[in-house]
Chain A
């Protein structure tokens, strides 16, 4: 442990990883809470995999993969919203379509780019230990956007999720709020692709907030608890990953998953003992 702490002060990459982890936890805890209460985790899954197309395209045209990911994420989020609100269809089909089409585009474009496979793996499984300072800057900007959205539209988001019909009667623009939530999910997914990789995004987006849900009777409390949990998961994930030399993303998810099941078990026994 003390070894880890000395290393944090000496190693730039560990500092970057921890800063990126803390930045991710803010976005993740906020958006994750909305995703859990509105029950749209599959939207997160769909967008995460669609992002692969953007990453492949970025490799192919040789730009920063984060920009490719951002563009694809936001477009898929808006498409999901359009299908839901304008065509009045369920989202499932469009989500599965985006999920696999995005992957397919990514695989083909990456294949056509020489030397692709190492980088691609990084985005599939994430590697927070490789985050550079330019990516941290992008994380910071995206974080500021998500925090502002959350604060400014807090009540409208909550009320739209809680009772859409009445929110509409109150004059809230429920469709715009829904698009806003989708954009928040898209932005958060892009952040988390860095941290845990696109395959594991859904878990980090939903598990902490699902744990927080058990202890919270308000959305605000859920957000605070989620942000704390995500940062604990990410930092301890980085610690284990560094100490045992195992992949960081997967380690973070395992920590989160273990805590989730322990909490479920604990709350089950609490109900039993009542």
Chain B
């Protein structure tokens, strides 16, 4: 399998405290990786390093995409806590359209090709009927779908999702996971979650992050090892999670 992302010896700290230490990690084409770990374990930090919002202190992240697209069109990113300005006058469609905007997007209007992509990705997450609604009038779960559509619109090779279902109801959660499962036929997915629950039956690898990172192929190991790696033997957690 082709290696899409190769993380080598990576360390990162915000100021003094080291958050990630000596991470080695390979993402192969069509992987569906569950990035799990406790609160503060460093899941969000790893994803931000991959999209380039943070720069590693040591080590390297190598990207190796197939297409000839611009770098940023190969990655679809769904942040955990959006950095969106509250109460900003913007319609759902324009938020989704942000996913095709780049440093050479001039003038206020989009072209036909962009328009088709935007409509399509709104359909994919069933928000077409919200297209003209103000983004700030949506519920948390609806917003989450919009952000997923925004990440899908550039048709990226890899999707990075940071707790994408933290604010959706359980039937929407299943919808989203079904959608991701279908997308996984052509796309590579990394999904961060502190909860293996639903995703355990979809993913092919688990990466446990808690300052260090340990990756397992699903099926190679028992659920207990995985949880222990992530939570450093917290008995509470072992009892609580037995999704695999």
Contact = CB atoms under 8 A, between A and B. Distances in A.
B216 interface: no
A131 B149 CA distance: 51
Interface stretch (B20-28, B34-42, B84-92): B84-92
Nearest to B76: A169
B71 interface: yes
Contact of A161 (B51, B85, B94, B108): B85
Given A169-B51, A171-B70, A222-B89, A162 B84 contact: yes
Contacts of A220: 108
Nearest to B72: A171
A171 B84 contact: no
A17 B59 CA distance: 63
B82 interface: yes
A170 B91 contact: no
Contact of B101 (A156, A173, A213, A218): A156
A10 to B, nearest CB: 41
A222 B87 CA distance: 14
Interface string B92-108: 00110111011101111
A178 interface: no
Contacts of A164: 83
A269 to B, nearest CB: 21
**For chain A, which range describes its interface: under 10, 10 to 19, 20 to 34, or 35 or more residues?**
20 to 34
B134 A172 contact: no
28 contacts: A37-B88, A37-B89, A151-B107, A153-B106, A155-B107, A158-B90, A158-B94, A159-B98, A162-B84, A162-B85, A162-B88, A162-B98, A165-B83, A166-B84, A167-B98, A167-B101, A169-B51, A169-B52, A170-B99, A171-B70, A171-B71, A217-B89, A217-B90, A217-B91, A218-B91, A219-B89, A219-B90, A220-B108
B88 A161 contact: yes
Contacts of A261: none
A259 to B, nearest CB: 19
B108 A172 contact: no
A222 B88 CA distance: 11
Interface string B104-135: 01111000000000000000000000000010
Contact of B107 (A154, A158, A166, A169): A154
B98 to A, nearest CB: 5
Interface residues on B, range: 20 to 34
A271 to B, nearest CB: 14
A152 interface: yes
A163 interface: yes
A230 B68 CA distance: 47
Interface of B: 51-53, 70-72, 75, 77, 79, 82-85, 88-91, 94-95, 97-99, 101-103, 105-108, 134, 150
B53 A165 contact: yes
Contacts of B71: 171
B85 A37 contact: yes
A159 B101 contact: yes
A217 B106 CA distance: 21
Contacts of B77: 166, 169
Interface string A221-255: 11000000000000000000000000000000000
A162 B108 contact: no
A39 B51 CA distance: 27
Contact of B98 (A38, A166, A216, A221): A166
Contacts of B98: 159, 162-163, 166-167, 170
B92 to A, nearest CB: 10
Nearest to A161: B85
Contacts of A151: 107-108
A152 B77 CA distance: 26
Given A163-B84, A166-B77, A169-B52, A217 B101 contact: no
Interface in A186-234: 213, 216-222
Contacts of B102: 170-172
Contacts of B84: 162-163, 166
A232 B61 CA distance: 56
Contact of B53 (A38, A168, A216, A221): A168
Contacts of B72: 169-171
Interface string A19-43: 0000000000000000001110000
